[in-house]
Chains A and B, each alone.
Chain A
Amino acid sequence: MSGLVDIVSQPLAIESGVFGLLVMVLVTGLTGAGRANQLAGWLSLTGLAALTFAAAIARPGAVAFDGTFAVDELAVFVKIVFLGSALLSVLAALGIRDGAMLRRSPEYHVALLASLLGMLVLASARDLVLLFVAFELMSIPLYVLAGFERKGEAAPEGALKFFLVGSVSSAVILYGLSFVYGATGSMSLAAIGPALDARHPLLLLGMGLAFGGLGFKIAAVPFHMWVPDTYEAAGTPYVAWLSVAPKAAGFVAIIRLYIDGIGPAVMMWVPAIATIAAVTIVAGNLMAIPQQNIKRLLGYSGIAHIGYLLMGLVAMSVSGVGMLLFYLVAYLFGNMGAFFVVQAVARTEQSDQIDVYRGLAQRSPALALSLLVFLLSLGGIPFMAGFWAKLFVFWAVVERGQYWLAFLGAVATVVALYYYLVVAKRMYIDAPTRTDAVRVPGVLLIAIFVCMAGVLVMGLYPDPWVAGAIQAASSLF
């Protein structure tokens, strides 16, 4: 066992594993003819399960390439998040047996693994160039995947929007980073803080631009426009993943650049981030209200959640970043779970409209209950993961003295609960239009069950999760 731990604790061990898996899936796709479609999915699933386990037992502390690539506690934590969410997404995707997935499943999995590889490298990158390259490795396959299921006109539109916005934001990030490099003369993140006063105009300009670009990636308002269209058009298991993992990656990049890079002088960024957080929370929640399509609704609610995650950043403290990480995990289970239920319902109903959820509680009580649990968790109701997540970020900003932001966040929660309850009303209060139960494939059932367990376990026993998140954050300060 200890030998195994040693191996997986090597720098780049997990990344090499994902790369190997990627090659295997690619080769399977090229040679396996008809059965390859099935095989690719199961291969990815097994490989990811093994790698998630490896990441979970890995020890932090490894460093490679002169400190350019560091596996600190934060990196280990988010790597587990990336791998775990990818695992759930692949599991749910196995439940799809038609359309593009039937014909070109290996392509899908290769692209997904490539993007995952980018995220994993990003989590450890402590160098501007590596950071950017990893970011692009993550982003480009995401654009491909967004247009993977080309049904109707919506998919190309959503994918293209995502691609255009994404490439522009990448360019903006790169432009910003070039100023930072120009000002400090070094590519290393560790060199930024000591080299320059945080108020140096070039640094301000560079970091500001980079924040704008990253804002697009995490979909903070006003950089959020691509989200609902992309979510609506793309395949649901992919969207479930897209709504969590790349956002987490964006936050890791922000944490690396600002907290790791600038150092204590980062406090001057607090008002700007607080403003963006407030605007994101309010706008995301308000725009979610009129939605008739549940994927768009979850898209807008996801934007609001980005605002809450930014609140954790506003605190700029161990507890703040720790709570941000805790929030990410809670959001992972709640949001992915909700999307999986949407996938299950859409499979039977061929529609993502909220209207098709009428009377779901009488048709499939368990499915309705799980969606209710996920939505209540997202809404921050006690005894679910989301409650602690919200509470902790509020607490972190109150400690920083930003009472107004906590207050705003708490009030906006009520707005969010309104549109979550509208879905609950459809499921529980309205009469069903048909009586047959929604049939759910076994793999999807497992995925939903895992998310449900995550939400409830975190909700009832948050202690170890909080400790883990705090420990991951403590390496930064």
Chain B
Amino acid sequence: MTTVLDIFLRLACWLLLAPLLPGIINKVKAWVAGRRGPPVLQLYYDLTRLWKKSVVMSALASPAFIMLPAVAWVAVIGAALLVPLGPAGASLSFRGDALLMLYLLALVRFCTAWAAMETGSAFEGMGAVREVSYAVLAEAAMIAALLSMSVHTGTISLVTMLAPSADAGSVLLAAGLFIVLLAENCRVPFDDPNTHLEVTMIHEVMVLDHSGPPLAVILHGASVKLLLFVILLVQAVLPIGAHSPQTAAALLLAGVLAVTIAVGLVESLMARLALRRVPLLLTTAFLLCLFALLSAWRAVVS
């Protein structure tokens, strides 16, 4: 009984808190630009409005066009439930759950790209291609990051893996994971969520044809994915486990807030990269994670 309650609490936490993040990022951007900006809760309003709307669907698309966003949403929530929440741990933890999380995120990518191709639009084709191609490098960086955490702690389970090292490796890992976070969540400098130029978009262009509840599900799923990466990054870098539950929870929250603000600042202060430079930056992220791995390995062997 308690496990069921525990899972529901966690689920509520993920589902309800996630849409805050884009709101905070937008507020930071507005603040830097000297504007008032949309309210922090804007995404909640958008989601409720979208949920009630009717849907316009491309004449070419199959019913999977509607169903795949839901499938992707379940996959991303599943991945989120595997990620431990500071002192609360994870609701489900077993050997190798880190890989399941990674591949659930890949399933999300599969569904989004597949649904994008449903419409037969060249723009959405572009988005799908970029998403699945850049993911090749992001995936290499992610596995290197997971390996470095695993080598550092000697386990393959997320709950125990997310204990940061106290050396240079931790800094490298943080930098690498932050770049992957920006890429996987389609933030500047990889993608601009606010752009209106379809030719240069990645994620946003894939969902051009979605409307109503499916769009709400996509937006919500994207915010959960962002929160997932932020929490992963914070726990990989901040020594949360060493503190009492209350301090740990506070630290986790502060960390999440700090990373979110950092994303907002990057978005305000940087221009997006030319598309041909994206692989370069992702390769940098991969190398950072790889060096973190090497440093972890050296520390263990010596």
Chain A complexes with chain B: no
